[in-house]
Structure 1
């Protein structure tokens, strides 16, 4: 077996041991610029201002790691079988945000995996990314065979559906590349029709200015736009509407094995009136190690107040 094949097999084995669901490899090469630049120039990134910084870095991993030859993409399953109640008196928090912050959980695992890689290749240079570095992770996930890009823009990867986190290791060693997965959405447009704000303006393109997930994560000093408050309903942080309706996310999906992604009970079907009673100390205690803490107490309570008004509880 060639050394590159041997190293890849080792990486895959160790990644699975660490709890990653899938591993794929793509060649580190420049990505087409047209889609990203058109999205930015149209202002569709809205308040996600970091997307406007350093687009050249996002388009070429070799600018992030000189000598980069491979992009290792890893998926992590965060699905758990919990039924969300259709009750306007209860808040909705996106599934990904009900447990520990995936950035922290996966960064630790990536660092462990890099240590394992260096046991086989001590001189290897790497750069890790967990939805933080300027990496177009969905494009790399498609190129590496992890899944295909659904019309809601999320990566769909049977048997996990789109309930997956993505993370990457950019490596200066050439590994055998995997083949992209064929798109399987066909003529389905359930996700496009499910978005109450019309944020999915066409297949694969999201207008972040209208996206409920992005709106609930506006900075604490920013008000929720009046024109989107009613459509926000009882969403408090994030939104799963376009994913929840996807046929690939139905049925008996494998539950996550990562304890850190298990939902905290007070983030599943919480009564809005209970949340409205939290003081800042309670918020900080209950959002410790949670992605929700990014909106701070003021931002979370802003969202709770909008949800209470929408549910006619104010």
Structure 2
């Protein structure tokens, strides 16, 4: 088997199925990443969404014992929306992060990897492969960096010369000993814009993220948002792009390449009040094909309530009162109470006072008290 030729042919095939970048590296351990993950664990910076076993995250042969190399791929996604709708008083809108625009990237990247697996099986008898996207064990960023897809930026994103950091990553471990590519030079230099503008200080140092403070993580949790982050979320209903939008390497990278990733503006920047009323079925029918739907409707609705508080949207007060009185979920009732206090006004105050005498849940009562304190300050 001519592995060099196979590599060149696979690169051509990958491009033909919509892979924007492909790189190759060995299946040897990612020692530097292992040290970094251990440090992250010691500092309690992990989000809890990750694979807990650090060895599995950094030793490819634990996942495919016969693995010899790893194929890394990247698909570019848009940084700008065509004809974005504008929110206004009475019609406020939220925003999903760019990584949740268009078709769920887990589906799109996995489709490409499966086609590549099939291509290899047709050409190489006894080929072994194990592919993964985002939710797999390996750290996508470490693989992509060593395979020469891009360099690891201070904002913890892989930055490519061609598409900036707006790329989805995936990888495939295989027993084929493909010749490895070389990593590319880090071009961040002295720039530290991403660290300086992070709304919550989640980027504690270059390449080190405290995931528990990251808005992208906070918007995906299901509990009451800690007080210190509520006013930082703004109108984000899922994810955060700040450390990408300020990056000079992303300037001019629109990446309108794949139709499947072009956003439906009404999904990417949805009206906030209608979000509050969606049933599970309606939420799934409307948002089920995008990455931001994976945690279900509750986090999105909670974030929409915080966004309405951010705008101090008086027209939403009746809906928030309805949620405070009747919603079965304490997180939604409590967040609504706080939002009513933030928006203020007589109707909000009266509703909070009434709820205070009727509410039984201790956590919700705490939020009602906070709401009443905010109303008094108003």
TM-score normalized with structure 1 length: 0.93
Q: Residue 47 of structure 2: SS of its match in structure 1?
A: coil
Q: Deviations over 1:66-86 (max 9, x none)?
A: 111101000001125327688
Gapped regions of structure 1 (runs ≥ 5): none
The verdict on how the C-alpha distance between 1:85 and 1:44 changes in structure 2, with shifts beyond 3 A counting, is farther
CA contact (8 A) 1:80 1:256 kept: no
Q: Greater CA radius of gyration, 1 or 2?
A: 2
Matches within 5 A, 1:229-308: 229-257=230-258, 259-308=259-308
Instruction: Name the structure 1 match of 2:365.
Output: none
Q: Which of residues 164, 167, 174 is equivalent to 1:164?
A: 167
Gapped regions of structure 2 (runs ≥ 5): 318-378
Matches within 5 A, 1:75-86: 75-82=74-81
Residue 253 of structure 1: how far off its partner (Å): 3.7
Q: Distance in 1 between matches of 2:239 and 2:269?
A: 14
CA contact (8 A) 2:77 2:255 kept: no
Matches within 5 A, 1:217-236: 217-219=220-222, 222-236=223-237
CA contact (8 A) 1:159 1:254 kept: no
Q: Deviations over 1:149-187 (max 9, x none)?
A: 111000000110000000001011111110101000100
Check if 1:193 corresponds to 2:196: yes
Q: Which of residues 196, 210, 214 is equivalent to 1:211?
A: 214
Q: Deviations over 1:178-213 (max 9, x none)?
A: 010100010001111111100001100111111000
Q: Which of residues 145, 150, 155 is equivalent to 1:147?
A: 150
Q: Residue 298 of structure 1: SS of its match in structure 2?
A: helix
Q: Residue 254 of structure 1: SS of its match in structure 2?
A: coil
Residue 267 of structure 1: how far off its partner (Å): 2.3
CA contact (8 A) 1:159 1:253 kept: no
Q: Residue 9 of structure 2: SS of its match in structure 1?
A: helix
The count of aligned residue pairs is 308
Instruction: Name the structure 1 match of 2:30.
Output: 31
Q: Distance in 2 between matches of 1:114 and 1:62?
A: 18
Higher relative contact order by CA 8 Å / sep ≥ 6: 1 or 2?
A: 1
The structure where helix makes up a greater share of residues is 2
Q: Distance in 1 between matches of 2:281 and 2:265?
A: 18
The verdict on how the C-alpha distance between 1:118 and 1:183 changes in structure 2, with shifts beyond 3 A counting, is same
Matches within 5 A, 1:81-160: 81-82=80-81, 89-160=92-163
Check if 1:61 corresponds to 2:63: no
TM-score normalized with structure 2 length: 0.78
Q: Distance in 1 between matches of 2:113 and 2:240?
A: 27
Check if 1:178 corresponds to 2:181: yes
Q: Distance in 2 between matches of 1:218 and 1:11?
A: 39
Instruction: Name the structure 2 match of 1:19.
Output: 18
Q: Deviations over 1:84-122 (max 9, x none)?
A: 688683211101112111111211221111110112212
Worse-superposed segment, 244-253 or 63-72:
244-253
The CA RMSD over aligned residues, in Å, is 1.7
